[in-house]
Structure 1
Amino acid sequence: MAEQEIMLMKGNEAIAHAAIRCGADGYFGYPITPQSEVLETLALLKPWETTGMVVLQAESEVASINMIYGGAGAGKRCLTSSSSPGVALMQEGIAYMAGAEIPGVVVNVQRGGPGLGTIQPSQSDYFQATRGGGNGDYYVIVLAPNSVQEMADFVDLAFELAFKYRNPAMILSDGVIGQMMEKVVLPPMKPRKTEEEIRQLYPWASIGRSKDRNPSILTSLELMPEIMEQRNLHLQRKYKEIEENEVRYDTQQMEDADYMIVSFGSASRIAEKALEIARGEGMKVGLFRPITLWPFPSRQIAAAAKGKKGVLVAEINAGQMVEDVRLAINGAVRVEHFGRLGGIVPDPEEIVKALKEELI
């Protein structure tokens, strides 16, 4: 394939193509709607014949995340993908990876819940992703794409951030972005790293025993509380560094806005149309889109909200990101929430109506 190629594909398919092109060493996953095309596309592309990438359907989501633990612990670029209840099963492994500082990538193509819920799109895993769904004091780097292009782009970005900070990273998508088709420019091919490069770049990696190298032990277990506290303090310092350096966001028409919509992922695409409708009706409305859900752009949202008459948080859940927006703004501006539940995707007109009823 050409290094840069424009193709029409689903968001889930873009994940698979990008994983191969960005030098992924292994994918371990399990089918679940609405993300099964990731595994299916990798099986069709057969990258083990071209790049040497391993693709394996594991026996469960629990097995998948533990395979990521092992592969990524050896310094390999490994990823998995699933949807909401499947990612819930992975939470123990994700917490173990955070505690052991192992840099794997998890793709969550969200569906409605709680529990098995529905196969329709939702954004109700925001808390699961940004609060850390497993045990202990930890965070996962969370990227929220709102297009098929960003699904492709964020694979390499997730790996880069994961390895830079030795921390799990998650691409928090949803059934809308995963299933819709758009044009996408695929990233250029990059080679997989050799074992010698891994030894040089990642001295922490456990890549086997030799006469002059002891194998690394990558574990989250520590029985001495004093040592465990120091490990936790180290993690907190690392999280502070990530918060300082890795916040990403986008804005539209904020310069003259009286009101601000805050949305992420597919909801932000709907909010873009709502913005157009509202502007057409004479309402000065702007859009703030967090791209990193953790670290959350708290300071940037607070600055953007300054002087506004009100903020509407539009998301496809019962109200999750709105809590972080309210904490960021800290009462300086009125903040209201609009959301649909159970897998129902709102229309742009519903957001405009909520703006009028709640704020204007």
Structure 2
Amino acid sequence: MTKVLMKGNEAIGAAAIAAGCKYFFGYPITPQSELPEYMSRELPKIGGVFLQSESEVAAINMVYGASGAGARVMTSSSSPGISLKQEGISYIAAAELPCLICNIMRGGPGLGGIQPSQTDYFQATRGGGNGDYRLLAFAPANIQEMVDLIIEGFDLADIYRNPVMICGDGMLGQMMEPVEFTNHTKRELPEKTWATTGTQGKRKPNIINSLYLEASILEDHNKHLIEKYNKIKENEVRVETVGLEDAQLVFSAYGTTSRIVKSAMTMLQEEGYKVGLIRPITIWPYPYDAFKKINEKCKDILVVEMNTGQMTDDVKIAVEGRQKVHFHGRQGGMIPSPEEIAQVARELLGGK
């Protein structure tokens, strides 16, 4: 199939439509505003609905309603906008409703800035709303991967009846790359027998709810959710690993930053250093087992992120003290260069 040069935000919209999404509710915020603009133009052409809500809070509750009626639905925003959606995301997770949420991250905290960042790792992997819930969270490193994960993400949301989040950043949203919309594997999806589509006198009414006033009933519901999350951890971990068998130092990075790390790795390899990479594609569930494949002689891991070191907690859990975990990051929308990353690695490896 012919590749098409597309801006990341527009490719997200095209992927969602290719996946069968017909409903989008959202509110404009930089650096993801091209996505709702694209959906406002393209969804009506296929009989879909685009609605610019009066707020992010309204948007996520519209997603709740559309998903509850059995529709394929998505929303998108950028960091502070996703923060406003957190209560609704918790409700959707509790009610076991499938949907896709796209976060094109920007610098923070607060309103921060409009430049690329990865400041929402905690929010995506620990749950920004209340309660013991989880999102299946993907961190694509290029626009093609983002397209593929969006199409697959809609299916996984239906299979597990759970929200799926795509964690991009301002660079992925704004840059242009060639993409193709290949024929993805058709999955057998469960029938949405739980949806509020009207009984037509043939069944009892379906009730979608996240309120359980009896403590024992709420505990049973949480146990059920834990079983589902354990299945996701068993089946949906995605990771890329490079050179772990003989690396003197292993990088861990995701998303846009992993691309910059790969450039730094090329520089170091040309100088004779042996370096490896663990790139989480799912940041939840996290690929803890990948770190067990690092050779015993490797003593250092360098985590690189565009934040203050949020993923280092997961890396420390993964290595269980086998390696020393170091961090290099840039904040506020600053993007690390391959040269500065390579220099940090050289210093850890005893070079100049």
Report the equivalent of 1:11: 8
Aligned ranges for residues 176-325 of structure 1 at < 5 Å? 176-188=171-183, 201-304=191-294, 306-325=296-315
Report the equivalent of 2:94: 99
Report the equivalent of 1:37: 34
- 1:22–1:189 Cα contact (<8 Å) kept: no
Relative to structure 1, is the Cα distance of residues 206 and 150 closer, same or farther in structure 2, using a 3 angstrom cutoff?
A: same
For normalisation by structure 2, the TM-score amounts to: 0.95
Give the length in aligned residue pairs.
349
Inter-partner Cα distance in structure 2 for 1:186 and 1:102 = 26
- 1:26–1:78 Cα contact (<8 Å) kept: yes
Aligned ranges for residues 64-213 of structure 1 at < 5 Å? 64-188=59-183, 201-213=191-203
- 2:64–2:97 Cα contact (<8 Å) kept: yes
CA offset at residue 285 of structure 1? 0.5
Structure 2: tracts of 5 or more residues without a match: none
Higher deviation after alignment, 148-157 or 120-129: 148-157
Inter-partner Cα distance in structure 2 for 1:359 and 1:264 = 22
CA offset at residue 242 of structure 1? 0.7
Partner amino acid for 2:72? R
Partner amino acid for 1:17? A
Higher deviation after alignment, 306-315 or 60-69: 306-315
Structure 1: tracts of 5 or more residues without a match: 192-196
Partner amino acid for 2:33? S
Partner amino acid for 2:172? I
Deviations 1:58-113 (A, max 9, x none): 11111111111111112211000100000000000000011111111100000000
Higher deviation after alignment, 106-115 or 151-160: 151-160
Tell me whether 1:48 sits opposite 2:38 in the alignment: no
Out of 61, 64, 76, the position equivalent to 2:56 is 61
Deviations 1:127-168 (A, max 9, x none): 000000000011100000110101211111111111111111
CA offset at residue 357 of structure 1? 2.5
CA offset at residue 313 of structure 1? 0.5
Inter-partner Cα distance in structure 2 for 1:305 and 1:80 = 42
Deviations 1:253-282 (A, max 9, x none): 334322110000000010010110110111
Inter-partner Cα distance in structure 2 for 1:359 and 1:211 = 71
- Secondary structure at the aligned position of 1:123 is classed as coil
Higher deviation after alignment, 71-80 or 205-214: 205-214
Out of 22, 26, 29, the position equivalent to 1:25 is 22
Tell me whether 1:344 sits opposite 2:334 in the alignment: yes
Inter-partner Cα distance in structure 2 for 1:265 and 1:343 = 14
- 1:262–1:313 Cα contact (<8 Å) kept: yes
Inter-partner Cα distance in structure 2 for 1:187 and 1:28 = 26
- 2:278–2:290 Cα contact (<8 Å) kept: no
Relative to structure 1, is the Cα distance of residues 304 and 157 closer, same or farther in structure 2, using a 3 angstrom cutoff?
A: farther
Report the equivalent of 1:353: 343
Inter-partner Cα distance in structure 2 for 1:345 and 1:76 = 38
Partner amino acid for 1:345? I
Inter-partner Cα distance in structure 1 for 2:49 and 2:285 = 31
Partner amino acid for 2:191? L
Moved over 6 A (4+): none
- 2:248–2:349 Cα contact (<8 Å) kept: no
- Secondary structure at the aligned position of 2:294 is classed as helix
Deviations 1:192-250 (A, max 9, x none): xxxxx99x711111112321123311111000000000000111111111111110011
Percent identity among equivalent residues? 51
CA offset at residue 188 of structure 1? 4.5
Higher deviation after alignment, 244-253 or 312-321: 244-253
Inter-partner Cα distance in structure 2 for 1:241 and 1:21 = 27
The alignment yields a C-alpha RMSD, in angstroms, of 1.8
For normalisation by structure 1, the TM-score amounts to: 0.93
Deviations 1:276-315 (A, max 9, x none): 0110111100111000000000111233364422110011
Inter-partner Cα distance in structure 1 for 2:148 and 2:61 = 25
CA offset at residue 358 of structure 1? 3.6
